Amino acid sequence: MAIERTLAIIKPDAVGRGLAGDIIKRIEGAGLRVRAMRLMRLGRAQAEAFYEVHKARPFYGSLCEYMSSGPVVVIALEADGAIARWRELMGATDPVKAAPGTIRKEFGMNVEQNATHGSDAPETAAREVAFFFSSLDIVA
């Protein structure tokens, strides 16, 4: 595997329930290194831009409303194979279908409010990390 960067977001449902610390502990426990991190609230337009790839999907409007409904924690992660490893730790999109022990299984509320985001490929990871962080924010 190669050293990769990926974007993690602790979504509003999880931050709102005080789960950010638990989720960061799992990230660190899995050997994924935090290279940049910020607590912030997305504006509606920022959420729409971030999820632009899903613009045509029926859940897009509701998703953007939800993602701008409260604070999120955005994190740039780095590790060997970070993209797949973070997705594995999160579990499937729908918490009902997520494997036991995964973050979405344990913390997700439903298919929309599913606790965390993770980039799905090298190209999207590069775009998504750059969406939130400049090169100066990333700690070597």
* Tokens of residue 69, six digits: 């409904």
Residue from 49, 59, 131, 138 in contact with ligand CDP (CB under 6 A)? 59
Nearer to ligand CDP, 22 or 94 (CB): 94
Q: Is 120 in the site for ligand CDP (CB under 6 A)?
A: yes
Say how far apart CA 58 and CA 12 lie, in whole Å: 20
CA atoms within 13 A on the CB side of 16: 15
Residue from 93, 106, 126, 127 in contact with ligand CDP (CB under 6 A)? 93
Judge whether 117 counts as a catalytic residue.
Answer: yes
The values of phi and psi at residue 25, to 5°, are -60, -40
Please tell me which residue in 5, 26, 85, 117 is annotated as part of the active site: 117
- Part in contact with ligand CDP (CB under 6 A); list of ranges 14-22, 23-31, 33-41, 112-120: 112-120
* Beta-strand runs (E) in 48-97: 72-80
Chosen from Mg ion, ligand CDP, none, partner binding at 119 (C-beta under 5 to 8 Å by type): none
Specify which residues 10 forms β-bridges with: 73, 116
Chosen from ligand CDP, Mg ion, none, partner binding at 112 (C-beta under 5 to 8 Å by type): ligand CDP
* C-alpha to C-alpha distances, 96 to 10, 13, 102, 134, nearest whole angstrom: 19, 16, 11, 36
Q: Is 23 in the site for ligand CDP (CB under 6 A)?
A: no
Residue from 114, 125, 128, 132 in contact with ligand CDP (CB under 6 A)? 114
Share of the chain residues as helix, strand and coil, in percent rounded to the nearest 5 = 45, 20, 35
CB of 61 to Mg ion, least distance (A): 17
- Catalytic residue annotation: 117
